[in-house]
Amino acid sequence: MKVVSLERLQDEVKKVVPKAGFEFVSGAAGGEWTMHENRRAFDDYRIAPKRLVGLSWNDIDTSTKLLGLDMASPIMVAPMGAHAMIHEGDERATAKGAGLANTLYCSSGASNATLEQIANATNGPKWFQLYYNNDEGVTKSLLTRAKNAGYSAIILTADALGPGQPENFIAMGSPFRPDRLFGNHDPKMGGKGNFFDQKTALTTKDIEFIKSFTGLPVIVKGILRPDDAKRFVEAGADAIQVSNHGGRQIDGVPASMTALPAIAKAVNKKVPIILDGGVRRGIDIVRAIAMGANAVAVGRPMLYGLGLGGSLGVKSVIEFLNKDLVAAMILSGAGKLADLNPSYIDIVGENAKFNKYNS
Consult the annotation and say whether 276 binds a ligand. yes
DSSP letters spanning 281-343: SHHHHHHHHHTT-SEEEE-HHHHHHHHHHHHHHHHHHHHHHHHHHHHHHHHHT-SBGGG--GG
* Euclidean distance between CA atoms 171 and 173, whole angstroms: 5
Q: How far apart are CA 58 and CA 203, in angstroms?
A: 47
Nearest to 123 by CA among 137, 147, 141, 104: 104
Q: Are the CB atoms for 124 and 137 separated by under 8 Å?
A: no
Task: State yes or no: 81 annotated in a binding site.
Answer: yes
Is residue 245 annotated as part of the catalytic site, yes or no?
A: yes
CA–CA–CA angle 158, 62, 277 (5° rounding): 30
Residues 6+ apart with CB under 8 A from 252: 30, 33, 34
CA separation (Å) from 122 to 14, 55, 104, 132?
Answer: 27, 35, 10, 25
CA distance 150 to 112: 19
* Local structure of 267: helix, strand or coil: helix
Query: Does the annotation list 221 as a binding residue?
Result: yes
Identify whether the C-beta of residue 175 lies closer than 8 Å to the C-beta of residue 20: yes
- Is 129 assigned a ligand-binding role in the annotation? yes
Of 237, 243, 233, which is closest to residue 297 (Cα–Cα)? 243
Ligand-binding site membership of 18 (annotated)? no
Q: Is 305 annotated as a binding residue?
A: no
243 is in an annotated binding site: yes
In sequence order, what are the beta bridge partners of 104?
A: 76
Q: Tell whether 299 is in a known binding site.
A: yes
Q: Please indicate if the annotation marks 281 as binding a ligand.
A: no
Q: With residue 350 as reference, give the H or E element that holds it.
A: helix 349-357
Rounded to 10°, the helix 136-148/204-214 angle is 50
198 known member of a binding site: no
Which of 83, 87, 185, 245 is the catalytic position? 245
Distance of alpha carbon 343 from alpha carbon 181, whole angstroms:
48
85 among annotated binding-site residues? no
Residue 16 to residues 21, 87, 183, 185, 353, Cα–Cα distance (Å): 10, 10, 25, 29, 42
245 is in an annotated binding site: yes
- Tell whether 132 is in a known binding site: no
Q: Is 248 annotated as a binding residue?
A: yes
Q: Binding site for glyoxylate: what residues are annotated?
A: 131, 245, 248
Which residues are marked as active site? Answer: 245
Binding annotation for FMN = 79-81, 108, 129, 157, 221, 243, 276-280, 299-300
Binding residues: 79-81, 108, 129, 131, 157, 221, 243, 245, 248, 276-280, 299-300
